[in-house]
Amino acid sequence: MAKRLTIIGMILMLINLNAINSKKQENIERARTGQHIIIAPEEFLTQANLFADFYWDEFQIERVVVDQQDIFDQMNGGVADPDAIREYLIEFFDDPTVWLDSSVLLMGSGTEDWNVPNDKNRIIVTEYSDDEFVLLDTDYYPDVPIGRFPAQNEDQLNLIINRNIQYITNPTTGWWRNKMLMVVDDEHKGNQLEGLTYNSGLNHTARSQDTAEVLSDAVWLDRVLGIEYEMYPNGNKPEAAQDVIDKVNEGRLIWHYIGHGNEDVLGDEEYFRASTQLQLLQNADKLPLFTAASVDVGDFSSLEYDCMAEQFLTYEFGGAIATIAPRGSTDGHSNHLLFLAFFQNMINDYNYLGAALLDAKLNCSASIGNSKLYNILGDPLLFVNPPDRDENISIVGNPTTLYYEDDVEIFGQLPNANYTFSDFKAFESEYDCYYTNTLNGATYEVDYTKFGEPYFEEEIAISGDYYETSFSVTPGIQTGEQARMISYIHSVEDDYVQYLYPITIMEETQSPDDPMLPNELSASNYPNPFNPSTTISFALPEDTNVSLSIYNLKGQLLKQLLAESKIAGMYSVMWDGKDSKNTQVSSGVYFYQLETPSKTITKRMLMLK
């Protein structure tokens, strides 16, 4: 029998009403103390000044606008040279104590073939990285955050600027602002197996797990993991590519890629190819920050092509609000260290883009030569952060564990009365996964977790500065000690997040009358994902007829494992991954269905090869 969780005494007195996130506001105040400069060619000066005026009006942050040619005239007798810009910036940034709180924005594209007349040659580039412009002292480390708008003409620049202004002044609210997508390469490279050990720097899935574990527990993280998708004979994984496109179009605050790549494509398996799939992105109102721990994805300095990172900023119907990707070849281990620090700075500490990246470069212990290859295409002063958040969701009665069919009452105390709706979600527990594969005699293995799925969702109208709801814990959801609740709270102009984590969910399978017998029908399988077999365990609270069947994603019956009368108790049945014709099934999602005359349970599982 389900327990009613009710202690209506005002446990709300325990809520810390002052736990309002102020880190973002603190970082805005820090930016106001810095020195900020926009360098533009003559033809872009009007837009540069308008953008600078916007930042003053919106944030009271002063941005000085300078003509690139004036710098060449003043510092190098009118001859274009990147060293002239560096020397100018050394004089401009005369207060080292505010360097990290400052910024440089280069307003225009540029290539290594500077002397070739071309629309791409607007702002000069250095041989190595835009970081070379901000080497202001005698060491090899960049000293001021720097970014670039890679616009080749006024139309592209207007698009980029207008998007930035819209992003700040009129953002599209919604869950997407609290969601992050990680796209992760698999273990294949040229029909060989890589990633045999994590220390080799090639285990992309393990890296994504490390990254997931440093993020705030309030952020909804989903991953497209290459190892979970079937490879077609041509070596591609089209289902993974489609999932990437679908999720980006749904909206994600940040889209991060880990793995192999180049200026046009993510992964040998083509998780995304800009030259053919950019047009499939229709996310202009939900632009993510795109980051890539890869090779050459951000090689903006070529005269022959526009790299993926450039195209994301100048594509009219979608793409990204900003990108961070390397201009050359990089090292996997150093990439990992850089982005671990960067995401903590962005998501957990609410730094603005340039400060978050520069701090990561200076303090993450990765090779600085590797880190400097990563350039910001976008505004280094842009804040790309989740909504402010607190932990002021309470389960009435304050239980530490929830059980199937428990009745749960939720109370959320808000920092003020400025919000209209709460989109509340209760998530099943995260769950552990294990994957292994053998190719050409070498074996790959990795442990990772998957974010739990929502089992209860409700939009709640807010009146005043609190909200409340109630629901029952759904039988059959993923049990464990890492369940959570997240509430996305919003009005027309603003949003906020509240969360509760961790929560334990258990089945409660023992009956008070007979501790040896389960008190309800339940089922689970292990391992999941599996290859090639998994064991399905189930509990019968009474003597009954029972059937256990396997279905594919289309709902077609593949195999009936059991159909007979059983006495009450615990049972296990192994599925060897074969259908009724004894044919091994392919990788993908399958369902097992446990059915009795009074109840049916259906659960998903994943076959990985």
In DSSP terms, 112 is beta-bridged to none
**Average of per-residue pLDDT across 107-119:** 96
pLDDT at position 196: 61
pLDDT, tens digit, for every residue of 272-291?
Answer: 999 999 999 999 999 999 99
pLDDT at position 328: 93
pLDDT at position 382: 97
220 touches 451 (CB < 8 A): yes
pLDDT at position 16: 32
DSSP line for 250-291: H--SEEEEES-B-SSEETTTTSEEHHHHGGG---TTSPPEEE
CA–CA–CA angle 101, 102, 107 (5° rounding): 145
How far is the CA of 255 from the CAs of 290, 384, 446, 586, in angstroms? 5, 12, 23, 29
In the predicted structure, residue 10 carries a pLDDT above the cut 70: no
Percentage of the chain exceeding pLDDT 70:
93
Rounded to an integer, what distance in angstroms lies between the CA atom of residue 289 and that of residue 385? 10
Lowest mean pLDDT among 65-74, 94-103, 173-182, 499-508: 499-508
pLDDT, tens digit, for every residue of 373-400?
Answer: 999 999 999 999 999 999 999 998 888 8
In the predicted structure, residue 7 carries a pLDDT above the cut 70: no
Rounded to an integer, what distance in angstroms lies between the CA atom of residue 500 and that of residue 184? 28
Rounded to an integer, what distance in angstroms lies between the CA atom of residue 349 and that of residue 356? 9
**Average of per-residue pLDDT across 257-283:** 97
Report residue 189's pLDDT band, with 50, 70 and 90 as the boundaries: confident
At what angle are helices 204-214 and 332-343 packed, to 10 degrees?
A: 20
Query: 319 vs 444, which has greater pLDDT?
Result: 319
Domains of the chain: 27-134 (3.40.50), 171-385 (3.40.50.1460), 390-506 (2.60.40.1930), 522-607 (2.60.40.4070)
Query: Whole-structure pTM over 0.85, yes or no?
Result: no
Tokens of 515: 């501790």
pLDDT, tens digit, for every residue of 130-176?
Answer: 999 999 999 999 999 999 999 999 999 999 999 999 999 999 999 99
43-51 long-range Cβ contacts below 8 angstroms, 24+ apart:
43/122, 43/154, 44/107, 44/108, 44/122, 44/151, 44/154, 44/157, 47/107, 47/154, 47/157, 47/158, 47/161, 48/107, 50/161, 51/107, 51/161, 51/164, 51/165
pLDDT at position 510: 46
Query: 516 vs 580, which has greater pLDDT?
Result: 580
In the predicted structure, residue 513 carries a pLDDT above the cut 60: no
Handedness of CA 103, 105, 111, 117 (dihedral sign): negative
In the predicted structure, residue 11 carries a pLDDT above the cut 70: no
The side-by-side arrangement of strands in the sheet containing 36-40 is: 64-67, 36-40, 103-107, 146-149, 374-377, 322-326, 289-293, 254-258, 179-184, 220-225
